Amino acid sequence: MKYGNVRNIKKELLSDNWYSLNKVTFEYQREDGSWETQVREAYDRGNGAAILLYNKEKGTVVLTRQFRMPTYLNGNQDGMMIEACAGILEKGNAVETIKMEVLEETGYQIEKVEKVMESYMSPGSVTEILHFFIGEYDSNMKKSEGGGSMEETENIEVLEMPFKEAVAMMKSGEIRDAKTIMLLQYVQINDLI
């Protein structure tokens, strides 16, 4: 059965202040073969990468804490989020981007990363594909305090904690970031720590 074709796509730019927000009008073919007009908004912020740093020997992970205005606007009382290190892709290269973000945000300089999955994080409204990585770290890799880019006003706090504590924080709701939950569960399911 043929359905799901799209035709007559028209985009109207609503905002390009930070990234691009478009109003998209299109015709979508339903399962019964009929065509219907649909209107959606799509936010294009580029693709990204995220990583969970872990130390198998110590049983620890490295996470970050920073203020996130959208969560504050939606009921997160202090706006602070505990997250895996992440960033928008530079020149489309997920591996090099995540290594750069790790050094910038956490202060660790890692060479070896393993891609474990990729996902559309909010497919109803955001175009982004997120590339997920894991990487082992140790204290010898610590090159700076991290904390993020001053130009990007990130103000990132670096958190090294026992993996079991991070899992407990996920279960209690202290960790509510989707990418972080996915990576913690990946490490847990695959018994990496």
pLDDT tens profile 77-101: 999 999 999 999 987 799 999 999 9
Q: Is residue 1 part of a domain?
A: no
Same domain? 90 vs 182: yes
Tell me what pLDDT residue 154 has. 65
Confidence of residue 12 (pLDDT cuts 50, 70, 90): very high
Give the number of domains in the chain: 2
User: Domain holding 144: CATH number?
Assistant: 3.90.79.10
pTM of the full predicted structure?
0.89
Mean pLDDT (whole number) for 137-148: 85
Same domain? 31 vs 86: no
Tell me what pLDDT residue 90 has. 85
Q: Is residue 152 part of a domain?
A: yes
Same domain? 129 vs 143: yes
Same domain? 182 vs 98: yes
Q: Is the pLDDT of residue 177 over 60?
A: yes
Tell me what pLDDT residue 4 has. 64
What torsion, rounded to 10 degrees, do the Cα atoms 181, 82, 91, 148 define?
-160
- The whole-angstrom separation of Cα 153 and Cα 147 is 10
Same domain? 89 vs 33: no
Whole-number mean pLDDT of the chain? 92
- The whole-angstrom separation of Cα 129 and Cα 123 is 9
Percent pLDDT > 70 in the chain is 94
List the domain range (segments joined by +) for residue 33: 6-44
Q: Is residue 128 part of a domain?
A: yes
Same domain? 87 vs 109: yes
- Identify which has the larger pLDDT, 103 or 3: 103
Provide the b/e sequence for 152-175 (b: ≥16 CB within 10 Å). Answer: eebebebbbeebeebbebbeeeeb
